[in-house]
């Protein structure tokens, strides 16, 4: 890919580490689900594991945002990769139903590492690329997510079926170690010395780095930055509201495949492959919104809601596959637009704390949303739940658009 070659070498290393890390993690997820079902024959056990993974994000992601301002990103990501690589080997000790606590414990520890790693990695992107390349790079990030989803899920299932889940667990641990070695060679510029006074920073520092690193001062400046930027308010509103409905999609994709279309595990893989393909395709579309990032994000959210509503009335398998592709395409383009907008509107020294807070909220709310969807699906038809979830996306898009239009007009009038 010509664009990839043109990007900064340091970002190419970060991208490669993300691919290796993500595919290895997907190996583990597929194998882990198979192992839990084999040991317990209980979907409730899977629910417990997913619920436990939410807690570290609620607790550690805000702390990670502060750590990013105090510890180098390279050290932070290397440490979490090494930690997760060692911890992932713990799955090899689970052989019987009595060992289920090992799975719960290891899954929770891995989530602890991810809660620290995710905001550190995302806030590294603006440090490694020029502001003019942010849209292109965020497009590549969606390609990475799509490749991880397709290749990781497919290969993980094959490896687990042929060689057993233990092989997948070993490969997962190896992927963390390999990613850590790649991150070790990334040269990160210091935040306070590079680009901190960029023209696209809405709040510019006037005091020393030591004062900026203080958690209370950083939080105050973060709120000031959000108040000063209407586009950033829209992005934050999106990040706060949309996760409330994301759990419905995560639950329904398996229910649709198994219960509604009666395709079994193959159907789940087919639908996830469609989602991955949509994310890869979003690379080509996302760049078309370079001059209208905010409108692009809101239109894509509206389109995603309409497609989810339409999916609830689809009864043909390949039509559902096409809808899932389009849903993922819209979601990927929306993420490209809004991630780029967030990076443009937020000063570099505040991106770590802000991303930490947003990651904690989104992961925690998605977990609660998945639990709520699991309860709701016992009381109503899956298709009705999907229709309601899609309608929720549409409502959120309209409400945020109205808020943006009203706030922008008031600022223009000097109110």
pLDDT in tens for each of the 415 residues of the chain? 555 555 678 888 999 999 998 887 777 776 776 677 677 766 567 667 767 777 888 888 888 877 887 888 899 999 999 999 999 999 888 888 888 889 889 988 998 998 889 888 988 898 888 888 888 889 889 988 888 877 776 676 677 667 777 888 888 899 999 999 999 999 887 654 444 444 444 444 434 344 344 555 667 788 888 888 999 999 999 999 999 998 888 878 878 887 888 886 667 778 888 898 999 999 888 878 888 899 999 999 999 999 999 999 999 999 999 999 999 999 999 999 999 999 999 888 888 888 888 888 887 888 788 778 877 877 889 899 999 999 999 999 999 999 999 988 887 666 5
Q: What pLDDT shows up at residue 266?
A: 67
Q: What pLDDT shows up at residue 188?
A: 80
CATH number assigned to the domain comprising residue 250: 1.20.1250.20
Indicate whether 195 belongs to any domain.
Answer: no
- Exposure string for 104-126, b = 16+ CB within 10 A, e = fewer: bebbbbbbbbbbbbbbbbbbbbb
Rounded to whole angstroms, the Cα distance separating 386 from 245 reads: 10
Indicate whether 21 belongs to any domain.
Answer: yes
Rounded to whole angstroms, the Cα distance separating 351 from 313 reads: 41
Number of domains in the chain: 1
Q: What pLDDT shows up at residue 329?
A: 95
Rounded to whole angstroms, the Cα distance separating 11 from 183 reads: 10
Indicate whether 223 belongs to any domain.
Answer: yes
Task: Compute CA 144 distance to the chain's CA centroid, rounded to the nearest angstrom.
Answer: 11
Q: What pLDDT shows up at residue 209?
A: 45
Indicate whether 302 belongs to any domain.
Answer: yes
> Which residues are within 8 A (CB) of 210 and not within 5 positions of it... i.e. 6 or more apart?
none
Q: Model-level pTM?
A: 0.79
Q: What pLDDT shows up at residue 289?
A: 86
Indicate whether 205 belongs to any domain.
Answer: no
Indicate whether 194 belongs to any domain.
Answer: no
- Exposure string for 285-315, b = 16+ CB within 10 A, e = fewer: bbeebeeebbebbbbbbbbbbbbbbbbbebe
Q: Are 120 and 66 in contact (CB under 8 A)?
A: no
Q: Are 213 and 335 in contact (CB under 8 A)?
A: no
Sign of the torsion formed by the C-alpha atoms of 284, 307, 252 and 249: positive
Q: Are 374 and 251 in contact (CB under 8 A)?
A: yes
Indicate whether 202 belongs to any domain.
Answer: no
Domain that holds residue 283: 8-187+211-412
Indicate whether 192 belongs to any domain.
Answer: no
């Amino acid at each position: 890919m010509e664009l990839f070659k043109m990007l900064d070498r340091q970002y190419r290393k970060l991208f490669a580490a993300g691919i290796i890390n993500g595919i290895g993690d997907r190996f583990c997820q597929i194998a882990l689900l198979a192992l839990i079902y084999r040991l317990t024959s209980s979907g409730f056990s899977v629910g417990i594991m997913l619920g436990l993974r939410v807690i570290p994000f609620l607790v550690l992601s805000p702390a990670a945002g502060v750590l990013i301002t105090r510890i180098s990103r390279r050290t932070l990501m290397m440490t979490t990769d090494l930690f997760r690589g060692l911890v992932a080997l713990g799955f090899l000790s689970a052989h019987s139903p009595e060992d289920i606590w090992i799975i719960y414990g290891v899954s929770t520890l891995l989530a602890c590492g991810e809660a620290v790693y995710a905001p550190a990695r995302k806030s590294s992107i603006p440090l490694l690329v020029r502001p003019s390349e942010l849209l292109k790079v965020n497009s590549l990030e969606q390609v990475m997510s799509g490749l991880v989803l397709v290749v990781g899920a497919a290969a993980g299932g094959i490896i687990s079926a042929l060689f057993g889940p233990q092989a997948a667990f070993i490969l997962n641990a190896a992927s963390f170690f390999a990613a850590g070695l790649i991150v070790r060679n990334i040269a990160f510029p210091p935040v306070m010395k590079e680009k901190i006074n960029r023209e696209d920073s809405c709040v510019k520092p006037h005091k020393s780095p030591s004062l900026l690193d203080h958690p209370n001062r950083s939080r105050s400046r973060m709120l000031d930055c959000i108040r000063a930027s209407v586009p950033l308010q829209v992005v934050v509103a999106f990040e706060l509201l949309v996760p409330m409905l994301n759990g419905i999609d995560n639950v329904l994709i398996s229910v649709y495949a198994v219960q509604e279309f009666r395709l079994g595990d193959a159907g789940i893989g087919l639908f996830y492959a469609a989602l991955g393909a949509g994310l890869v395709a979003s690379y080509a579309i996302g760049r078309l919104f370079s001059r209208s990032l905010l409108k692009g994000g809101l239109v894509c959210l509206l389109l995603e809601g309409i497609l989810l509503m339409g999916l609830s009335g689809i009864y043909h398998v390949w039509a559902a596959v096409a809808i899932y592709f389009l849903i993922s395409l819209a979601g990927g383009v929306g993420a490209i637009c809004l991630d780029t907008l967030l990076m443009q509107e937020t000063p570099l020294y505040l991106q770590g704390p802000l991303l930490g807070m947003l990651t904690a909220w989104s992961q925690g709310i998605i977990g609660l949303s998945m639990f709520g969807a699991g309860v709701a699906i016992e009381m109503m038809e899956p298709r009705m739940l999907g229709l309601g979830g899609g309608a929720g996306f549409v409502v959120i898009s309209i409400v945020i658009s109205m808020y943006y239009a009203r706030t922008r007009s008031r600022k223009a009038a000097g109110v």
